[in-house]
């Protein structure tokens, strides 16, 4: 046993250098271990990040679109094994009042390209995308048109987003879309995409000619379309019609009293046979029309804001559906075989 003396309280023990060296060694080993551990965590973290981004790089090219209508355009011109497409807004939903959900945000993060109509079509989605950290991935198709291509509301300040109802403008959008996708998708997908894209452009040319041909069955003096909201102005400009929408370019626009008076005049004087309903759009304003003129007849649905159920589940499908609806309604007038008056409530979705 070591003898305890007062000096030993203040004097380092003789074996101190040995203890000190041992402690230093332990500290050194601990530092090495912690450093190694930190390095290991850093490598693991980097590996997980690498896995995340490399898995996206090897997965099929993902295009997230705002609407099924845009998704259809991508599907028509690309192979499914090359490009995956996912639309955010469900079929039948009002695109103008769409609100982004947390699942929407998660999908946006996964996207290689985000395709939107723009021009104010998608409600609050555009505001979400303003803060998206990769703006180069957001393809705003509305910006692919010239100012002359577009129709403008409110003294030229607000663009009408419904360009898709003009087949020629939709073809223009598809033309640019194909070029941009060819520049981004993997090389082994480019040949098949180019072939599909050119064929689809030809089909859209054929569709435009067909619509143009169908219009000859309707006298120019009867070409007025009454709809809930202002969705058919591009169609009207291209194919020689006048539209009488009861609201503005959004389904939440206020009632247009001037158009309401015009609509009542056209109905009372039997210049137009009926009023069209619009798939996914509220019929509230039509109830007002029916209150003012109970004999109002309703022609059926038009798909004015995008695709619907089959056979209107593609762009070509819904355009053909709309034209058949319009032509058959006006033919009934010419044949004096109008159907009994319907009601808004019975015709509403």
Minimum CB distance to Zn ion, residue 139 (Å): 20
Q: What are phi and psi of 65, to 5 degrees?
A: -115, 155
Minimum CB distance to Zn ion, residue 71 (Å): 17
Rg (CA), the chain: 32
Minimum CB distance to Zn ion, residue 96 (Å): 6
227 part of the interface to Zn ion, by CB under 5 A: no
Minimum CB distance to Zn ion, residue 160 (Å): 9
CA pair distance 286, 290, nearest whole angstrom:
6
Residue where the block lists tokens 């028509």: 76
Q: Which of 67, 76, 231, 325 binds Zn ion (CB under 5 A)?
A: 231
Both structure tokens of 116? 């939107």
Binding mask 249-288 for Zn ion (x = CB under 5 A): ----------------------------------------
Q: 3-state class of 277 per DSSP?
A: strand
Angle in degrees, CA 121, 287, 293, rounded to 5: 125
**8 A C-beta contact, residue 66 and residue 87:** yes
User: Is the Cβ of residue 231 or residue 296 nearer to Zn ion in the bound state?
Assistant: 231
DSSP state of 278: E
E-state strands within the chain: 61-65, 83-87, 113-116, 138-140, 152-153, 158-159, 224-227, 242-245, 275-278, 298-302
User: Is the Cβ of residue 84 or residue 162 nearer to Zn ion in the bound state?
Assistant: 162
Minimum CB distance to Zn ion, residue 137 (Å): 25
Q: What are phi and psi of 335, to 5 degrees?
A: -90, 0
Binding mask 88-127 for Zn ion (x = CB under 5 A): ----------------------------------------
Both structure tokens of 58? 């090897």
Instruction: Pick out residues in 144-183 that bind Zn ion (CB under 5 A).
Output: none
Minimum CB distance to Zn ion, residue 165 (Å): 9
Minimum CB distance to Zn ion, residue 162 (Å): 6
Minimum CB distance to Zn ion, residue 338 (Å): 28
Instruction: Pick out residues in 180-209 that bind Zn ion (CB under 5 A).
Output: none
User: Is the Cβ of residue 197 or residue 235 nearer to Zn ion in the bound state?
Assistant: 235
CB nearest Zn ion: which residue?
A: 305
Which residues does residue 226 pair with via DSSP β-bridges, in sequence order?
A: 244
Of 22-30, 189-197, 263-271, 301-309: span binding Zn ion (CB under 5 A): 301-309
Of 11-19, 35-43, 136-144, 302-310: span binding Zn ion (CB under 5 A): 302-310
**8 A C-beta contact, residue 89 and residue 111:** no
Helix axes 167-182, 68-77, angle to 10 degrees: 60
User: Is the Cβ of residue 84 or residue 259 nearer to Zn ion in the bound state?
Assistant: 259
Size of the site for Zn ion (CB under 5 A): 2
Angle in degrees, CA 47, 49, 53, rounded to 5: 115
Of 47-55, 152-160, 304-312, 321-329: span binding Zn ion (CB under 5 A): 304-312
305 part of the interface to Zn ion, by CB under 5 A: yes
Q: Side-chain half-sphere of 33: how many Cα atoms within 13 Å?
A: 6
User: Is the Cβ of residue 112 or residue 166 nearer to Zn ion in the bound state?
Assistant: 166
Both structure tokens of 30? 């601990």
Minimum CB distance to Zn ion, residue 80 (Å): 29
Q: 3-state class of 1 per DSSP?
A: coil
Of 37-45, 69-77, 213-221, 226-234: span binding Zn ion (CB under 5 A): 226-234
**8 A C-beta contact, residue 302 and residue 279:** yes
User: Is the Cβ of residue 61 or residue 321 nearer to Zn ion in the bound state?
Assistant: 321
End-to-end CA distance of the chain: 98
* Positions that interact with Zn ion (CB under 5 A): 231, 305
């Amino acid at each position: 046993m070591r003898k305890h003396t007062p000096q030993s309280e203040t004097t380092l023990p003789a074996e101190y250098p040995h203890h000190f060296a041992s402690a230093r060694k332990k500290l050194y080993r601990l530092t090495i271990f912690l450093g190694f551990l930190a390095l290991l965590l850093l490598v693991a973290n980097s590996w997980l990040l690498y896995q995340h981004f490399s898995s996206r790089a090897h997965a099929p090219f993902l295009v997230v679109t705002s609407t099924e209508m845009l998704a259809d355009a991508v599907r028509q011109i690309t192979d499914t094994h090359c490009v995956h497409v996912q639309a955010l807004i469900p079929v039948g939903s009002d695109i103008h009042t769409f609100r982004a959900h947390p699942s929407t945000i998660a999908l946006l993060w996964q996207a290689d390209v985000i395709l939107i109509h723009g021009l104010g079509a998608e409600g609050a989605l555009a505001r979400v995308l303003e803060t998206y950290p990769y703006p180069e991935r957001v393809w705003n198709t509305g910006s692919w048109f010239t100012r002359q291509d577009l129709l403008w509301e409110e003294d030229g300040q607000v663009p009408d987003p419904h360009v898709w109802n003009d087949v020629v403008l939709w073809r223009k959008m598809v033309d640019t879309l194909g070029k941009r996708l060819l520049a981004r998708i993997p090389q082994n997908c480019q040949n098949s995409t180019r072939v599909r894209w050119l064929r689809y452009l030809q089909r859209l040319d054929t569709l435009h000619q067909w619509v143009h041909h169908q219009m000859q069955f309707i006298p120019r003096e009867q070409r007025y379309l009454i709809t809930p909201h202002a969705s058919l102005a591009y169609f009207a400009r291209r194919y020689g019609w006048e539209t009488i929408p009861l609201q503005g370019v959004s389904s939440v626009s206020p009632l247009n009293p001037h158009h309401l008076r015009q609509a009542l005049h056209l109905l009372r004087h039997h210049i137009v046979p009926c009023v069209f309903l619009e798939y996914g759009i509220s019929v509230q304003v039509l109830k007002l029309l029916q209150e003012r003129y109970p004999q109002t007849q309703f022609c059926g649905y038009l798909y004015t804001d995008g695709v619907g159920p089959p056979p209107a589940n593609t762009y070509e499908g819904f355009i053909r559906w709309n034209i058949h609806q319009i032509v058959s309604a006006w033919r009934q007038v010419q044949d004096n075989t109008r159907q009994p008056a319907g009601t808004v409530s019975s015709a509403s979705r």
